[in-house]
Structure 1
């Protein structure tokens, strides 16, 4: 990380906003850009070009102006009690700063910041959001009943003709279809990134997940669903797992991260896939995976909520 001097912070902030193509995360407890039209215009432009914007502000009875400011830009603020952190990043770079998005801070205050320089630093920032900020959002849905899926599965299937939505899904990449499905069924703020190796990174329900097809000397065409967990959550897995993870179709275990790496909760699918990558799967198989992945996310959410309680 590189130190940003006070006179450079606004230009670095503008770079983050203007260069965002897919993802933009703004964490600023207080917002008032009445006299900083350049910043507000850049945020509106990012929204208009289809950038997914998560804008976190402080939930406080005296902070109504910040909420009004964000709403005036056509962005729905995400309200976080006791928020004090200030950070800004897109899919490629970001900054951590003492700067609130206030005209007085941008134009007059003495501030300092740090410029992210590596992909690893950016991943650390994303993990900070999913572990320490997003879970506290006011209005976030409570942890689901993990047995609700079993009740739904017991209902007789309904025969349907091919809907426009299904036809549309045939023309989209699996990650895009999965993002829409999870946004509708699990978390409206779901964000998914695809990688060159065919894996998907999902950020939803306050956590980071990975979906990948594993092909090694020992296994082939094996779907793996992975969630980041804390060390304490990993320690309680043997005692608590059976209460939250109910599907007999997956084998679950904890993969310890070791020094410098996070512990992971991993679920591997017993039934092998018919292809070596998600995109190569036939449409019917892709459709079958959507609720399975959604169920895993909900189970992890419930497991973590049980730990916090």
Structure 2
């Protein structure tokens, strides 16, 4: 396991189990015990390097670290910092030089990109008249759209993403914020922003789940094959308030076994509650059909329903 870890600090420490009560300790961090002094570092491998390099930064220095190891880790930290500064400088240079829209141009409304929310309530004087102002606005919008297009093209983002409401909300929020907005970093996107979105999504799912007993639900079984040719089944729950994804099951070893196919949705029905599930919807293959009959025989309160689209597809084939 240690051989797969490239960080040099792992050569001088060993990961230990986090035997701490719930709510105590550093959640998400690796606990590492120093080989030289025996101290347990609770804040992860980064703090372990600070400990070995004796930087006195957020962690006590190691009193028994050999000078050779100290020099090695110190050099690693310096190189990492230099690379980070170089990458940020390169990023900022590309941001400035590659943009179509330049808020400092001489188009008459060059300050448009530096406007804030209050500017919409203030009339901006324009010596060239409303027609020239309208022309400049159209040209600037064209340049902004080119920047948005380049973002899509260089990152291989499908064009239909532009129809997503969050895409429009994102641009509106940036425009409403106005001057000086600093975009989120990759670290922010994968840490606190992701955490907040997970909380929001969980709250939305909980709201939908709260309606299940009142409305009843349909359990949807969606079979598909991944790039490794595994036969996977997605289980989703639907009512008029929305669809909730429950889980994905690898059914590669039982895709044609009616008994096994029956057991998979049967377990999910048990998990949701038999009194809540009105129908189970699956493909119309022979194994699914037999499994549906077994399910209705065991649970007379629900119905098995084949996908209409799959039925039509089989007829056309």
TM-score, structure 2 as length reference: 0.26
Higher relative contact order (CA closer than 8 Å, sequence separation 6+): 1
Q: Larger radius of gyration, structure 1 or 2?
A: 2
Higher strand share: 1
TM-score by structure 1 length?
0.26
Structure holding more helix per residue:
2
